[in-house]
Amino acid sequence: MLEPTPSTGPLSAEAHLVISQAVPEDGAALLSLQHRLDRQSSFMLLEPGERPSSVEEIRGRLAAQSSAGSFDLIASLPRQHVGPVGWVSVEVAPYRRAAHVGHLVLGVDAACTGQGVGRRLLKAALDECRRRRLRRVELTVMVDNLRAVQLYLQCGFVVEGLRRTSLIRDGGSVDEYAMAQLVLSSGSESAVVDK
Ligand SMILES: CC(C)(COP(=O)(O)OP(=O)(O)OC[C@H]1O[C@@H](n2cnc3c(N)ncnc32)[C@H](O)[C@@H]1OP(=O)(O)O)[C@@H](O)C(=O)NCCC(=O)NCCS
């Protein structure tokens, strides 16, 4: 069963936010957040009900992650005991010719948007990509998702192309930007806080 949406209210201080790498024990809470995001936002790829609901599956995926390649980060408010309020995933294909590329997906619970959570998660993910010696991070974003597009541009992504009619949302076609940045050519090497 899914948890109810946490009523965190405004984040009183950004410092209370903890960003950590998701581990198998976070699987149920992360899945719950993903289902919430699918319900809250039509800017996510999946519609409500399309995401697998098996906790074992997500635990298995997190357990298979190592210190290289794919990873998931979660943003939590430990003092408020509401589970993760934000999530970023970087997926790396298991092929040598593409092992330097991460595909990024980001989501923040609607109760916590506009308070810097997305920016902090994105920066932590980019730092972790550098630490893992990834060279390129790419993503797709619907062109009318102005908040996300603005955030990605501010954090160093550039628009590489327009994916015309790449999605059908609510019966209408939607274009997406293909965005990417080359991460090893700039920035720091700091690691995220592991649990
Ligand atoms: C897009 C999303 C990840 C942003 O996370 P967030 O925590 O709300 O973002 P932040 O508070 O860190 O804000 C980062 C930047 O986004 C932009 N932004 C924030 N709120 C905005 C708004 N209402 N309108 C336009 N831009 C906005 C600003 O550029 C902001 O930076 P600034 O405050 O320094 O000006 C989040 O809103 C979300 O998960 N939305 C639903 C799912 C989604 O769209 N995911 C991305 C799919 S590609």
For 2-40, the pLDDT digits (tens) are 344 444 555 554 558 999 999 999 999 999 999 999 999
Confidence (pTM): 0.90
Provide φ and ψ at 155, rounded to 5°: -100, 15
pLDDT of the residue at 79: 83
CA distance 41 to 112: 13
Average pLDDT value for residue range 41-46: 97
Q: At what angle do helices 146-154 and 117-131 cross, to 10 degrees?
A: 40
Give the closest residue (by CA) to ligand 1 atom 9: 118
Give yes or no for residue 14 CB within 6 A of ligand 1.
no
Question: What confidence tier does 185 reach under pLDDT thresholds 50, 70, 90?
Answer: confident
> Which CATH number fits the domain that encloses residue 71?
3.40.630.30
What's the domain range around 87?
A: 15-182
Kindly state the percentage of the chain with pLDDT values over 70.
Answer: 87
Structural domain count, the chain: 1
Residue 137 has pLDDT above 50, yes or no: yes
Give yes or no for residue 108 CB within 6 A of ligand 1.
yes
**In-domain check, residue 165:** yes
**CA-142 nearest atom, ligand 1:** 48
Pairing mode of beta strands 136-142, 158-169: unpaired
pLDDT of the residue at 107: 98
**In-domain check, residue 5:** no
